[in-house]
Structure 1
Amino acid sequence: MRIETLLRQNAVRRGDSLAVIGDAGRLTWRELDRATDRLANALVAHGHREQERIALVLANDHRVVVAYHGLWKANLVTVGINPRLTAPEIRRILVHSGASALICDTPVAVEAAAGAPDIRRIITVGPVGAAAADVPVEDFAALLAAADPTPVPPTGSGTDLRSLRYTSGTTGKPKGCMATHEQQLASTANYLIEVEVPRTGPTWLSLPLSLGVGASFVTTTAYLGVPLLLRRRFDPAAFLDDIAEHQVVHTFLAPTMLVDLVAALPSLDVGKARSLKLIGYGGAAVSWDLIRALTDALDVGLYHAFGATEAGGFSALLTPEDHRRFLAAGATSIVPVGRPAAFADVVIVDGEGREVAPGEVGEMRIRSPAVFSGYWGQPDLTRTVLVDGWLRLGDLARRDEEGYIYLADRAQGVIRSGAQNVYAGEVEAVLQSCPGVRRAAVIGVPDERYGEAVKALVQRVPGSDLTEQQVLDHCAAQLSRYKRPREVEFVDELPVDDGGKIRRSELPGARGLVLLGAKKEAGR
């Protein structure tokens, strides 16, 4: 089975019901089905062949959903790219993926395409200013209006690639995580078996659809046959207004959004949130202080979802029932990531691969039908994380006697800032290119709102008078805002091994997991 099958079924079963609501428009399931037929036909007519990669650099909008489903109908592979990235960051992904077309709503993406040799067409959403582009440029709306409206016959199979999701690694090079239709549908089933998402109203989302968790709700809402209400940013007051106006029943928020919501609720009319029944969250470690403050203010169920791009979705879930149980027992400190999802195996092992006893910390390994197929064009790297059917990312965790999993620390070199992964190697590669830098490392430091922020440790070239501002300016030109160091500390030496690699555990200020929403200790 393929994801677009869900869309076709909804067009028949609930054709006049809303499918997607955005700032610039809304579509019923029938209208969405027809628009995606037009997009698929247009791309095929332009010579795009099955399994070619098509890049999307789009802010949340109803047209993003059209793009996803339209590409899948043509058996094309989506390459979702965060619109917050800089032109060099976008260009690296375009080049690595070999994307043949770009659908975008930002001039930065057009600039990036100029250095991507495989791009042969740009499709713009709204006024982008692509006059300087060196390939044909078409307007998204005009393309659909002129396209063949004939329904696209089913093509491909569930084992075909549906997406490449990009991360970066310890080297700073992009990694495209390959995922099939069957893997995404398995992930969706894994999630909905464990969490009962209401079907009586829309799911509200401001997480970018370019991110894996955001894009997963394109499939989830199609699976449930409910509207997806998309916003480009999270504002607590506007969020409550949307709930009241559209009778929103479910949302998934980044931990930073939970922090902002809890801080704002005392000054807002919480009566507007009466229809809201369920809030999901995930992405960074949070405290029970934050969860308790939220449930004291709103009468909602909560669930926590743990996963990774490579895991293909949620591998462990802390259900609403789990939340009620922990809160009733007066839980403190860190919220567990949950217990393994219905069709996921999660084990905690020692250095010899033996499962550790409850309470002991070890490496977490995941096995599930949703786990990705590997890294695009990087078979050697794939073999380091997919071993004997298990996904091994290096995350450290422990499990209690009842099977609840607690994250102890993330894989080396990953800083969690809000809902975004910042990979140390990517930032360090940029720092190393700065004139006057001999060696550099980055660490995560506590941040009241984001959990962690990036700090650079820089060893200057002897005799260099490099300043902090020069380092920050250099990073600003090449890194998106959430990846940039907030501060720079100049050091005399950095710990390295015999091969010249940074020994991260020995870095000044290196620390374990940081909790969002924990109460500050007295005197601090």
Structure 2
Amino acid sequence: MRIENLLRQNAVRRGDELAVIADSASLTWAELDRETDRLAHALIDRGHVPQERVALVLANDVQVVVAYHGLWKANLVTVGINPKLTVPEMRRILVHSGASAVICDSPVAVEAAAGAPSVRRIITVGDLDGGERFADVVASGAPEPVPETGSGTDLRSLRYTSGTTGAAKGCMATHEQQLASTANYLCEVEVPRGGPTWISMPLSLGVGASFVTTTAYLGVPLLLRRRFTPEGFVDDVERHGVVHAFLVPTMLVDLVAALPGLDPARARTLDLVGYGGAPVSWTLIRSLTERLDLRLYHAFGATEAGGFTALLTPEDHRRFLRTDVSSIVPVGRPAAFAEVKIFDERDREVAVRETGEMRIRAASVFSGYWCQPEATQKVLQDGWLRLGDMAWRDEDGYLYLADRAQGVIRSGAQNVYAGEVEAVLQSCPGVHRAAVVGVPDERYGEAVKALVQLVPGSAVTAQDVLDHCTAQLSKYKCPREVEFVDTLPVDDGGKIKRAELASSAGMALLGTKESS
């Protein structure tokens, strides 16, 4: 089965119901089906052949959903590119993917495409110059259904990794892999069908794009916004009857901070909120659930994993919140159709509460890196995905992420995993965001230094942070130094950009407040 089959079914079953709600327009399932047929015909008529790559550099609006489904109907491969990238960064992806066309809404993307030899067509959204107008291209296509071509094993997308630990790599994913990922997620989390799913994460990112498939699978509207503000979010919930949203942790922090000034009754339809991408604290979760009557779930995955492989379900949240929680928040337990095991350096499964390399096996796991067989062989071995994530498991099977292997700080004879320390720092009251880095130490080689961004108005001191860590971490894992900063570099998923932390230039941009 292919993803566009879901759209065709919804056009028949619920044609007059809304499929997409966005800033510029809203479309019903029948209208979305017709617009995507037109786009597919137009691209085929212009000479694009099955499995060619077409890049999308689009902000969240109705055009990005039309583009995804239209390209899939034409059996083309989508290459989602973050609109925030620079010209050289975009151009590297265009060149590496061999994209034959670019659909975009920014002059940066037009400039990047103009310098990519494989790109023979630029299609622009809105009044942007430099190519054919998207609306004109769609209007030129026939409205008749596109004949079904290809199979579920065809490539559906290349999703490029963030590249924080090296050059970005294109993760190959098929239609069947995405559908397996969606089914795995939905059998673990009961997503209500009584209203829209709200997303402001860029649909060029893996998580954001996955909800194009999820909402088509469920037959519910996808409500897209370009940015998150607490007031705007609550307005959308009240106006459109939003029942489900997926937010990054920074959005949760901002929402909790704004709730005292908002009427919770305006968000009464909101039933389920998912989050992921960076550590959160039980304090934050408790504050949110005390103010809003909703269910929460945490989703953990990776681009290479093809979706969510571990989930902390609403039931898991209720279980932890019934206790006096002071520990870090687990990423969840393995999803129903995903195997997750933890191994030591000798390929032996580790015991409970021992840290090792996490390996994943699931039908959703990607097919490999585009045109990079050696890199593929390093992460796909004996049927297991090995990304270098370090984790441990408790007695009840909950997984706790220590960190990426590249985030290990070597202090004396001990490995300190940055993610584990950051999760504890994040649970400290008054801390908005935190990161740790290894700094030179004459005796131990490296020592742990914490970079902490406080909640506005917080009176937390460096000693408070150190005391909080001492209560939860072994001595060798505790930061030796705390530096308060104005901001920390994060990506669109809320994850710390370690490459920027590791560079002196990146450190200079942090803006020191005080240190102790």
Does the TM-score normalized on the shorter chain lie above 0.5? Answer: yes
Q: Which runs of 5+ in 2 are unaligned?
A: 409-417, 424-448, 456-488, 490-494, 508-514
Measure, in 2, the Cα distance between the counterparts of 1:489 and 1:171: 16
Match of 1:237 in 2: 231
| 1:411 equivalent among 405, 415, 435 | 405
- CA drift of 1:163 comes to 0.2
CA deviation profile, 1:231-259 (whole Å, cap 9, x unmatched): 00000001000000000000000011011
For the Cα contact (< 8 Å) 1:170–1:413, is it kept in 2?
no
Measure, in 1, the Cα distance between the counterparts of 2:139 and 2:304: 37
Q: Kindly, what percent of the aligned residue pairs are identical?
A: 72
Q: Please, what TM-score do these two structures have when normalized by structure 1?
A: 0.80
Superposed, which structure 2 residues align to 1:270-289 within 5 Å? 270-289=264-283
Superposed, which structure 2 residues align to 1:50-89 within 5 Å? 50-89=50-89
Superposed, which structure 2 residues align to 1:5-404 within 5 Å? 5-130=5-130, 137-169=131-163, 172-404=166-398
SS in 2 for 1:412: helix
Match of 1:455 in 2: none
Measure, in 1, the Cα distance between the counterparts of 2:300 and 2:162: 19
For the Cα contact (< 8 Å) 1:163–1:179, is it kept in 2?
yes
Q: Which runs of 5+ in 1 are unaligned?
A: 131-136, 419-442, 450-474, 476-480, 491-506, 508-522
SS in 2 for 1:294: helix
- CA drift of 1:411 comes to 3.1
For the Cα contact (< 8 Å) 2:243–2:270, is it kept in 1?
yes
Measure, in 2, the Cα distance between the counterparts of 1:227 and 1:304: 22
Measure, in 2, the Cα distance between the counterparts of 1:201 and 1:22: 15
- CA drift of 1:447 comes to 3.7
For the Cα contact (< 8 Å) 2:274–2:297, is it kept in 1?
yes
For the Cα contact (< 8 Å) 2:165–2:406, is it kept in 1?
no
Superposed, which structure 2 residues align to 1:499-510 within 5 Å? none
Q: Please, what TM-score do these two structures have when normalized by structure 2?
A: 0.81
- CA drift of 1:445 comes to 3.9
Aligned-partner residue type, residue 217 of structure 2: Y
Question: RCO higher in 1 or 2 (8 Å CA, sep ≥ 6)?
Answer: 1
CA deviation profile, 1:192-227 (whole Å, cap 9, x unmatched): 000000000000000100000000000000000000
CA deviation profile, 1:80-139 (whole Å, cap 9, x unmatched): 000011111100100000000000000000010122000000010111232xxxxxx210
Measure, in 2, the Cα distance between the counterparts of 1:245 and 1:126: 26
For the Cα contact (< 8 Å) 1:289–1:333, is it kept in 2?
no
SS in 1 for 2:123: strand
SS in 2 for 1:391: strand
Aligned-partner residue type, residue 206 of structure 1: S
Measure, in 1, the Cα distance between the counterparts of 2:224 and 2:162: 27
Measure, in 1, the Cα distance between the counterparts of 2:22 and 2:154: 29
For these two proteins, the number of residue pairs brought into alignment is: 436
Measure, in 1, the Cα distance between the counterparts of 2:48 and 2:407: 38
Aligned-partner residue type, residue 333 of structure 1: S
**Shift in alpha-carbon separation, 1:8–1:107, aligned structure 2, 3 A:** same
SS in 2 for 1:196: coil
CA deviation profile, 1:28-65 (whole Å, cap 9, x unmatched): 00000000000000000000000000000000001110
RMSD: 2.6
Aligned-partner residue type, residue 271 of structure 2: K
Measure, in 1, the Cα distance between the counterparts of 2:111 and 2:454: 35
For the Cα contact (< 8 Å) 2:275–2:297, is it kept in 1?
yes
Measure, in 1, the Cα distance between the counterparts of 2:365 and 2:453: 32
SS in 1 for 2:49: coil
Measure, in 1, the Cα distance between the counterparts of 2:7 and 2:454: 41
SS in 2 for 1:280: strand
Q: Which moved more, 1:169-178 or 1:407-416?
A: 407-416
For the Cα contact (< 8 Å) 1:96–1:174, is it kept in 2?
no
Aligned-partner residue type, residue 58 of structure 2: L
- CA drift of 1:487 comes to 9.8
